[in-house]
Amino acid sequence: MTATVHPTRLRPGLPSLPPGFRQLPIDERGYPVPFFVQWFLPDGTASEPGVGKPDFRIADGRKRNAAVKHKLCWLCGQPLGKRFAFVIGPMCVVNRVAGDPPMHVGCATFSAAACPFLSRPSAERREAKLPEGGEIPGFGIMRNPGVALVWITDHYTLFDDDKGSFLLRIGGRIGLLWYAEGRQATRAEIMASIDSGLPILRGAAKEDGPEAEAALEAQIASALELVPVR
């Protein structure tokens, strides 16, 4: 059993759906359910897409592997083209590492503008009653950065995360689109997000020693050059 999109069920106020989203199921709140989302039966057992209820906090590990292996968009599940978009927070701009596979540019910008967690700085990641049978998408700093960056590139590489899985190193930028509260972010908002997250990165680097600290400071300086002047 699978669900299908019915336009009248979409949540009012959402941006126009990108092409790949038009075939996604819609949840009870009126949000399209991304490709990566794990579905669950009422008893908490992981199920197939469209069966039971989706939990947006949980990624289906099989979908993550399939997205990378077959170059599918992480959000809509359709084949990617020659450009890849990553939706990342400012701290990932520093290390150029992402936990989620790439997306279509249109799907990524829709997510940055429409996702409740990404578009609401005050929203908190819900960790209570997390069901078993999936993975929390992303990694590292479990906070709402208040700002999201759509990083557009034409390449990326995979590397081992030392936990039996993988992470993605993002390639050089073709385009950068900063978002806050569903709109273009201001420099002040971006800098506030960066400044609030840097102590976490610097604390981790300090544990690894002076060389790690020096490397981080170089990465920070490079990242700050990407912040718009206004």
Buried residues in 172-194 as b, exposed as e (16+ CB within 10 A): eeeeebbbbebeebeeebbebbb
Q: Map residue 24 onto helix, strand or coil.
A: coil
Residue by residue, pLDDT tens for the chain (230 residues) are 444 444 448 888 888 999 999 999 999 889 999 999 999 999 999 999 889 999 998 999 999 999 999 999 999 999 999 999 999 998 899 999 999 999 999 999 999 998 876 755 544 445 555 555 455 444 344 456 789 999 999 999 999 988 888 999 999 999 999 999 889 999 999 999 999 999 999 999 999 999 999 999 999 999 999 999 87
